[in-house]
Amino acid sequence: MSRFMSQRFASLDEYVPGEQPLDMQYVKLNTNESPFPPSPLVYMRMGDEISKLKLYPDPNYSALRKSAAKLFKVKPENIICVNGSDEVLSFAFMAFCDSGKGVAFPSISYGFYDVFANLYGIKAKKIPLREDFSICADDYCDIGCNVVIANPNAPTGILLSVEEIEKIIKSNPDSVVVIDEAYVDFGGKSCIPLVEKYDNLLVTRTFSKSHSLAGGRIGFGIASEGLISDLNKIRNSTNPYNINRLSVTAAIAAIEDNEYYVKNCRSIVEIRGDASRRLKELGFELTESFANFLFAKSPEISGEELYLELKKSGVLVRHFNNPVINDYNRITVGSAEQMQILLDVIVRILNDKRSIKNQKGI
């Protein structure tokens, strides 16, 4: 750190994204990207857009908002377009979480919530999960501060019902409830239909996981017109041209060919079921995941050791150094071929461990 860094930020704990190592080609199952390429329509539309890069994008993203409105079945006025959904989460923490009032979120969830709370000096209530890692909706009812919940939750993949979320929204009419639906396309049910009914609900979506555009950085906030205009106030005060032209064009093309992604998500759900069954046969315990990842632990090997052994063999998964979930790894559901490699390597690691144990036993 330089001597110029503001005191306010000097002690900040940064968000640490999953590794993106360049030292070798890994089977990359650590950051929940899609194994499928973008739709052919995205490739086709890129060419024409390049010549327009000399011009700023439309700061209202009218065309993209119109397409997204059809996809999400809301009005364009209910949508803000952002540079990855992390950006709208950042805007929401800035816009709605006054330092005194604070924000509540599960103690095990997306790591960025805590980072934003610290960045903006917001008091954070971190609410433990139940023993089985599920979220108890009652913990958030009448809580009297803003609420952020990922549904399905990360890294557990566990889903709350829309009915339970509605209870939370309804019982906190003077606070904003943010539902982060980064993984909802993999079998969850969206809360977007509730936006019409509740002016305190903000739903966030991303094209990073389900729509093969993690590198394009495309996200959305869906909420009442009032919340959207507040978020736009923050956006226009920080970076009104927050999304680049190529990504906007890619996102519009992706929405036009949405069926392609629906099919891909269906494949992921199938591969998830298959991989989950096979991990259970190998003795793993798993949560019931509604996301494009599995959350798994083995009684035979620690979470950290499995992560390190997999990495040595060229397979990357995500391990979290949090004592509550230390035993687990989060494994992105990749292609069937990638999952086959993962399972083969796991079998080899477990067999090696068993034979060492047996030798010691003799």
Ligand X SMILES: *Cc1c(COP(=O)(O)O)cnc(C)c1O
Residues of this chain that bind ligand X (CB under 6 A):
84-86, 110, 150, 154, 180, 182, 206, 208, 214, 219
CB of 71 to ligand X, least distance (A): 15
- Neighbouring C-beta atoms of residue 241, cutoff 10 Å: 13
Sign of the alpha-carbon dihedral angle for 204, 206, 209, 210: positive
CB of 182 to ligand X, least distance (A): 4
* Cα–Cα distances in angstroms (integers) from residue 240 to residues 45, 61, 228, 294, 338, in the given order: 24, 10, 14, 37, 40
SS3 of residue 296 by DSSP:
strand
**Cβ proximity to ligand X, 154 vs 294, nearer residue:** 154
**Cβ proximity to ligand X, 217 vs 297, nearer residue:** 217
CB of 317 to ligand X, least distance (A): 15
**Cβ proximity to ligand X, 74 vs 82, nearer residue:** 82
Which helix (H) or strand (E) is 358 found in, with range? helix 336-361
**Cβ proximity to ligand X, 160 vs 346, nearer residue:** 160
CB of 150 to ligand X, least distance (A): 4
The order of strands in the sheet holding 219-223 is: 79-82, 219-223, 201-206, 177-180, 146-150, 103-106, 124-127
Task: Specify the pairing of strand 103-106 against strand 146-150.
Answer: parallel
**Cβ proximity to ligand X, 57 vs 301, nearer residue:** 57
Cα atoms in the Cβ-side hemisphere of radius 13 Å centred on 362: 5
CB of 162 to ligand X, least distance (A): 18
